[in-house]
Structure 1
Amino acid sequence: MSGYEAGFLDVALGLPAAQQPVIQLDYTHFSVLLDPARRLAAATAVNIAGAELVDLARGNTWRLDKRIAEDQQAGPGLYSRNSLDRGHLVRRRDPVWGDDAKQANADSFTYTNAAPQAAEFNQGKELWVGLEDHVLEYANANQLRVSVFTGPVFRADDAVYRGIRIPRLFWKIAAWTVDIGEKPELRSAGFVLDQSPLLADIDLRQLTSGNPPPLGPFRCFQVPVERIAELTGLAIEQLMDADRYQPTPTAQPVGPHADWRELASRDDIVL
């Protein structure tokens, strides 16, 4: 399995560096940095060759990664008989390109690439799963090559369910290059998905592990990449320097931070 390639774009771009111990797991065209303490990925990274994407049937055969112990990954027991979705971190179709498309499709259904998410499909979720398509369309002049990094935000007060702390926030950073002058220039854009319950009086820390925590409708934000670094502790300086989103006082953003901009449609995205 080739895994994520740092030299995939015209500018070398390596994997994020995590503060906590992680296990790097390489799959076809993507890699997972697994946090064995949380039993979920701290970060994922995928190379997308938009011009080579292959349209394959979805399938739905999830499996554990046999290279690591079962107690280091959140498996089928977390998702059975409840309302939780196995949300792809690396979107299923993103690594499905080239001669290895079939293997990439199967690899995306490994539990290390899943995270518990609200099952209900709503506008915010539709925006989230379509972000890569929007960036690919924007990057059309650059051979449709994009690298995308995705993961959950781990918090100490995340509710425990069946031995797993359920993240409420997820982040995504898309990266591409443009030709500026004599050499290509890296560009990036950062996003956060919030599935926190909208009821402010719910104390997640007091919930028992017998029932899944309440999850709210997906809300999607564009945020400075620097904020993602602060939320996750990941070392992503190169992506921070390449950020295309520069919030202004007139943007009237909403969210947990003054510079988070809630997205209602693709037209709100700054690239």
Structure 2
Amino acid sequence: MNSSGPPPAADGPLPGPGGPLPDHGSPLPGPGGPRRDALADRAGYDEAFLGPVVPLPLPVRDTVGTVILPYTHFTVVFRPDRRLAASTAVCIEGRELLEDVPREDIWEFDPRLPDEQQAGGELYRNNSLDRGHLVRRLDPVWGSAAVAARANTDTFHYTNAAPQADVFNQGKQLWQGLENYLLDHAAEFDRKLTVLTGPVLQDSDPPYRGFQVPLRFWKVAAFLQDGALAASAYVLDQSPDLSRDAERALAGATPGAPPPLGPFRTYQVPVSDVAELTELEFGPLPDVDVMPQARGPEERWRRLESYGDIVLHP
């Protein structure tokens, strides 16, 4: 087992561009229209999906005007100042997942926000960055065929994307399969999961095309264990590999090129560390963490080489 200490906490919120933004939880203003009407009936994330309440992760202090965007079976807490999500939350009903829903890969702006407040195609065009789903495409795709198809389409809004390295390595494979692994271990509890995900947004994130590219992502899964609420947290790190690319990483990327992202490294971490990194509120989840508390920071982050390294019992 390899271990690594946690990165430094975020330096604080960035100033938002433009005029005032709605407070989180406020109704979204703006004119109607076909595209807006198409999203008007979305119920979003259900905090009581598991039985015990798992609240939507909101900023402890919202100084930038986050906006809540409900979709089918999931919700995005969006930061227009960064043009990226601060957090997402999805309900996964494992018994009803429909894996044969076609993948369309047609990304759209959410019409409930101005296009200029979202990170659209200009961020990803003609470079090595992927549009990384925050809510994984298959996670909300359950229920009737019509509802599942709508959920699939909903995940292809730019509000549910963040730039990620296009390399595919073991760390990325582990990250993308976490929900499946956890669902398998929740089989006796009706295969239900609540998954909270987002980027770690820091002032030090490298700039690119007028955006800032997050170097880390987090995921917190909540489930029932022995009939009680339990949680497990993870961090995906795509920071530059200084041992291989030190000169470019330290000197800055070639003008016009994206930041030199490294291969993905996946860690299991305490839920409380994710709360500290993100400055988000996770309700009861830090107190029901299945990962045993370690004394030093270097012992708290568990580098995952395989799913067998995951701790799911205190």
Work out whether the TM-score is over 0.5: yes
* TM-align CA RMSD: 1.7
1:235 to 263, 281, 287: 281
Q: Give, in angstroms, the shift of residue 248 of structure 1.
A: 4.6
* Matched letter for residue 174 of structure 1: A
**Contact 2:240 2:249 (C-alpha < 8 Å) held by counterparts:** no
**Correspondence for 2:180:** 133
For residues 221-247 of structure 1, the C-alpha deviation after alignment (integer angstroms, 9 at most, x for no partner) is 000001001100001141101110014
Poorly superposed stretches of 4+, deviation over 3 Å: 200-209
Hey, what's the Cα distance between the residues in 2 that align with 1:248 and 1:194? 21
For residues 22-75 of structure 1, the C-alpha deviation after alignment (integer angstroms, 9 at most, x for no partner) is 100000000000011000000000000000001212221111101101111100
The equivalences for 1:52-71 within 5 A come to: 52-55=96-99, 56-71=101-116
Tell which deviates more after alignment, 159-168 or 208-217: 208-217
For residues 133-189 of structure 1, the C-alpha deviation after alignment (integer angstroms, 9 at most, x for no partner) is 01100110111110000000011111110111000000000000134xxxx411000
Aligned: 1:218 with 2:261: no
- Highest CA radius of gyration, 1 or 2? 2
For residues 74-99 of structure 1, the C-alpha deviation after alignment (integer angstroms, 9 at most, x for no partner) is 00110000000000000000000002
* Matched letter for residue 213 of structure 1: P
* Matched letter for residue 43 of structure 1: S
Aligned: 1:245 with 2:291: yes
Q: Which TM-score applies when normalising by structure 2?
A: 0.80
Q: Give, in angstroms, the shift of residue 258 of structure 1.
A: 3.3
**Correspondence for 2:200:** 153
Q: Which TM-score applies when normalising by structure 1?
A: 0.92
Aligned: 1:36 with 2:88: no
Alignment CA distance shift 1:2-1:61 (3 Å): same
**Contact 2:249 2:260 (C-alpha < 8 Å) held by counterparts:** no
Q: Give, in angstroms, the shift of residue 123 of structure 1.
A: 0.6
**Contact 1:161 1:208 (C-alpha < 8 Å) held by counterparts:** no
Hey, what's the Cα distance between the residues in 1 that align with 2:253 and 2:114? 28
Q: Secondary structure at the match of 2:179?
A: helix
Hey, what's the Cα distance between the residues in 1 that align with 2:174 and 2:48? 28
Alignment CA distance shift 1:28-1:259 (3 Å): same
Q: Secondary structure at the match of 2:186?
A: helix
Identify unmatched segments of 5+ residues in structure 1.
none
Tell which deviates more after alignment, 81-90 or 170-179: 170-179
* Matched letter for residue 70 of structure 2: D
Per chain length, whose mean CA-contact separation is higher, i.e. which structure has more relative contact order (CA < 8 Å, sep 6+)?
Answer: 2
**Correspondence for 1:98:** 143
**Contact 1:3 1:26 (C-alpha < 8 Å) held by counterparts:** yes
Hey, what's the Cα distance between the residues in 2 that align with 1:208 and 1:43? 31
